[in-house]
Amino acid sequence: MKKRGMKKRTKIILICVAAFLVGVVCFAYITVINPFNAGIDPLTPVNRQSDTGKRLELSFTYTKQRLIASSQYAFWIEDMDGNYINTVYVTQWTAAGGYSYRPHSIPEWVSAAQPSVKTDAQLYAIFRATPRNGDYVVSWDFTDKNGNSVTATELRFFFEGTMNNDDNVMYSGIISIGTDKWTITPNPIYTIQNSEYKNMLSNVSIAFYPAPGRS
C-alpha cells in the first residue's frame, strides 16, 4: 500500500514537472522567440501612390538579431518644424505596448508618435510583425495620420532601429517634393559607435517618385 502511494506521488511530481517545462517553453516562445526571432515572410513592396501620383520609398536590408530587446524599427515622417505627420511602418512588439516597459525600444519614434494615446485601430494601421531576413521596400503615399494629403514641399523622414537594448541606429534626412525623381543614401548615426549589431539595418536608401508624366 505504501509502495503504491509512493508511485502515485512520483507520477504526480513528474506530471507537474512536465507541465512546468511546457509552460516555460510556451512563455519563451511568446515573449522572446516569436516577437524577436521568428518573423514573417518578407513584405511585398506596397508602391502606393498619393492622389496626385507621388510616393516615397524606403529600401533596406534587414538582418534580425537573435537577442532579447532587439530587432525593432520604425519609419515615420515629420514636418520641418518637428511636428509628427505619420508612421509608415513600425514593428508590432513596440507599438502594441512593448514601449511601456522597455523604454529603450525605438525611443525617438515613441516620443514622436505617442502610441499610448492612439486607438487600437490607429495602431493596427501602422504596425507589422517583425519580418524575416531580407530586402524590403516600404512606400508612403503622402497622407498624414488622418488620411489627408500632405502638400508641403519639404518634409523630414526618420528610420530608427533598436539593435540591442539601448544600442540604436537612426537614419534621417529631408524630403524635397518637386517634379524630379531622386534617390539618396542617408548616413546612419549610432548610439554605440562600435556596435557589433550594425548589420541589422543596412543598404538604406530613400527614393522620391513624382506624379506620373513628370521626370
| Residues of the chain with confidence (pLDDT) below 70 | 1-52, 213-215
Which pLDDT value is given to residue 124?
Answer: 84
- What does the pLDDT read at residue 40? 35
What is the reported pLDDT for 49?
Answer: 44
CA distance 33 to 36: 6
Give the pLDDT confidence score for residue 52 in this predicted structure: 58
Grid cell in block for residue 98: 512593448
Helix (H) or strand (E) holding 95: helix 92-95
Q: What is the pLDDT of residue 56?
A: 97
Mean residue pLDDT of the chain comes to 82
Query: pLDDT at position 94, please?
Result: 92
pLDDT of residue 44: 40
pLDDT value at residue 17: 60
pTM of the model: 0.77
The residue length of the chain stands at 215
Contact 155, 78 (CB under 8 A): yes
| pLDDT of amino acid 7 | 59
pLDDT (0 to 100) of residue 37? 34
Note the pLDDT of residue 34.
41
Q: What is the pLDDT of residue 23?
A: 56
Name 173's bridge partners.
Answer: 157
| pLDDT at site 78 | 98
